[in-house]
Amino acid sequence: MADPVAKKPMFSQEETNYELKIPYLKRLFKFLLPYKKWLVLTLVFMFVATVADLVSPYLLKQAVDHYIPKKDFKGILIIGALLVLMLFINKECSKNKIRLANRTGQMVLFDIRKALFDHVQGLSFSFFDKNSTGRIIVRIVNDVNTLNNLFTNGIVNVITDMSSLVLAAIIMFSINPRLAMVTFAVVPIFLVVLFTTRNAIKRNWRAVRRKIANLNAYIHENISGIRVIQAYVRQKVNRAIFKDVIDDVFLSWMRAVRINGIFSPAVEVCSMIGTLIIYFYGVKLLKINGVTVGTLIAFVSYLDRFWRPVVTLSNFYNQLLVASASSERIFEVLSVQPEIKEDKNPVEISTFRNSIEFKNVWFAYKDEEYVLKDVSFEIKKGMMVALVGATGSGKTTIVNLLSRFYDPQKGSILIDGIDLKKISFKSLRKLIGIVQQEPFLFSGSILDNILYGKPDAKFEEVIEVCKFLGAHDFISQFEDGYFTQVNERGTRLSTGQKQLICLSRLLLQNPQILILDEATASLDTHSELMVQNALNRIMKDRTSIVIAHRLSTIKDADLIIVMDKGRIAEMGTHESLIRKKGIYYELCASQIRFVKAG
């Protein structure tokens, strides 16, 4: 039997083929446009700093060639003062360049992340059906973070380095073209090294990113499933698997570092060869063409300023590759359009007056795989309607369509004779309140959660609602009462308590139509009774649609709709359906047998 410790986790791999995709980079750089003034100011500081840096070797040349041989102390002092001034200008301008570049870059990242978050908030449920939470988070956090170096330093640095490289070359050719030509003879050698190592570096860092993605995924999975892990005593096995995962990260990182380490020494070697050429050939020119010692010193300084940016420029290409891949994934999300769109001139409704009507509704989550087939029924104001049937029969789909989380492919849904597609989102969602099977609380206080749907409600209103539903007593027992922090998902509360807080949040909004999606299914007997009493109070004088798992709770429903394989199989009251002895009768009988067997 295979050793379970030896098994490594399986992760879905995303596309890791990093290629330079110019159209995505162009779209990405459009986020810079609102900050072009800041970018121009940054480039001004950059240019002044570069010029100040490049003037220094020329001043040194003048001092060596003219003032030192003549023992002109005044001239030497002036050159010294100018060198100090150039150093001061360079440092101040560089400091301002870095500050402005980081400010501009962070503002761009802020805009990209905000655009992503705002866009995701408006997408339809179908998008979240197809994309995992982790994948969406990676887009908003990780993919935007990978752009950090590009926008905060990369773009400005590459312009700085290009300017320094070009200006240094121009100055060297202007001082002595022959010496410059001989010095740059080493450039072809460097280009061979660059193209030889670039692909290997790119390939190895791509492997590192993939291994780190696996590491993040495994950590996320283990934290999310910690209860299951401890229940099955899997800690030892998981620790061994985790060790393998981080070993993979370590080994791939070290391989990438070794390959990357070849490049910088290669640049140093090329620079050193260039320096030797300057001294060797320059000494000959001293005797022939009158090349000065100051010229040789200046050439060595300018050569350093020529090769120094080369490493940064080669790394910039890798930054562009990563940014290209990240921007592709970012714009992939931004290009998704919500399937459920509000009408251009939406109808505002403030009151539910007459009826809800489904007319020949067909719906499929996937093309042609219909989960609702020609569904038609009417719910009058004030009615309690129950939806029953086997799992997958279409009950939850009906309430999702009524809430307009999805739109039907065929047929229509009307409220007071108005097509749902014409009603504004805000008024529709204010009209309908949903109680889900799994209560969801946000991190923050109990009060924050209750006020979620109506932030401007008074504290007295909150207490009144909580007392009405029976939640006030247990909330008051906490040390901080309504200001008790519940943490993410309300981990400090029982499921029943969380459901009562969610019901308080719902009642505070005061919806006229209630949807109860198996609201007590995950509760114990005591909590179910407590929550059911609260539900009975909320449902009074409201139109209610109930998805029930315990048929005993819907005997008094005005209408029971029995779903079977996406169609309405039966409709009627409890008594009329029992007399039919059809699907509903069998469901009731099987539950009675189950209870007796228990």
Q: Give the 3-state secondary structure of 487-550.
A: CHHHCCCCHHHHHHHHHHHHHHHCCCEEEEECCCCCCCHHHHHHHHHHHHHHHCCCEEEEECCC
User: Rounded distance, CA 204 to CA 259, Å?
Assistant: 8
- pLDDT for residue 4: 45
Residues 6+ apart with CB under 8 A from 96: 45
Would you call 575 exposed, middle or buried from its count of C-beta atoms within 10 A (0-12, 13-18, 19+)? exposed
Q: Are 403 and 595 contacting, i.e. CB atoms less than 8 angstroms apart?
A: no
- pLDDT for residue 489: 61
Confidence band of 6 (pLDDT split at 50, 70, 90): very low
Calculate the average pLDDT of the chain. Answer: 80
Q: Where do the domains of the chain lie?
A: 15-176+291-334, 357-597
Confidence band of 561 (pLDDT split at 50, 70, 90): very high
User: Rounded distance, CA 496 to CA 503, Å?
Assistant: 10
CATH class as words, domain 15-176+291-334: mainly alpha
Tell me the mean pLDDT in the region 225-229: 76
pLDDT tens-digit map of 247-303: 888 888 888 777 766 666 766 676 677 677 766 766 666 655 657 777 778 777 777
Instruction: Name beta bridge partners: 384.
Output: 544
Strand, coil or helix: what is 303? helix
Q: In this model, does residue 11 exceed pLDDT 60?
A: no
Q: Are 307 and 339 contacting, i.e. CB atoms less than 8 angstroms apart?
A: no
- CATH 3.40.50.300 describes domain 357-597: yes
Claim: this prediction has a pTM higher than 0.75? no
User: Rounded distance, CA 550 to CA 571, Å?
Assistant: 18
Tell me the mean pLDDT in the region 113-123: 88
Q: In this model, does residue 572 exceed pLDDT 80?
A: yes
Residues 6+ apart with CB under 8 A from 237: 4, 5
Q: In this model, does residue 178 exceed pLDDT 60?
A: yes
What are the φ/ψ torsions at residue 157 (nearest 5 degrees)?
Answer: -65, -40
Q: In this model, does residue 534 exceed pLDDT 60?
A: yes
User: Rounded distance, CA 142 to CA 288, Å?
Assistant: 61
Q: In this model, does residue 318 exceed pLDDT 70?
A: no
Closest-CA residue to 476 (of 488, 484, 468, 487)? 484
Q: Which two tokens stand for residue 256?
A: 């990438």
Tell me the mean pLDDT in the region 444-455: 88
Tell me the mean pLDDT in the region 411-437: 89
Q: In this model, does residue 422 exceed pLDDT 90?
A: yes
Q: Which two tokens stand for residue 274?
A: 């260039």
- pLDDT for residue 7: 52
Confidence band of 12 (pLDDT split at 50, 70, 90): very low
Provide the residue type at 482 as one letter: Y
- pLDDT for residue 418: 93
Closest-CA residue to 140 (of 161, 115, 123)? 115
**In this predicted structure, which of 29-33, 121-125, 284-288, 410-414 has the lowest mean pLDDT?**
284-288
Q: Are 392 and 564 contacting, i.e. CB atoms less than 8 angstroms apart?
A: no
Q: In this model, does residue 570 exceed pLDDT 70?
A: yes
Identify which of 61-65, 179-183, 303-307, 474-478 has the greatest average pLDDT.
474-478
- pLDDT for residue 166: 83
Confidence band of 18 (pLDDT split at 50, 70, 90): low
Place of tokens 């247990």: 474
Q: In this model, does residue 15 exceed pLDDT 50?
A: no
For the beta sheet containing 355-366, the strands, ordered from the edge strand earlier in sequence to the opposite edge, are 369-380, 355-366, 410-415, 418-419
pLDDT tens-digit map of 325-384: 778 878 888 888 888 888 889 999 888 899 999 999 999 987 768 899 999 999 999 898
Tell me the mean pLDDT in the region 198-205: 69
- pLDDT for residue 9: 54
Strand, coil or helix: what is 374? strand
Q: In this model, does residue 559 exceed pLDDT 80?
A: yes
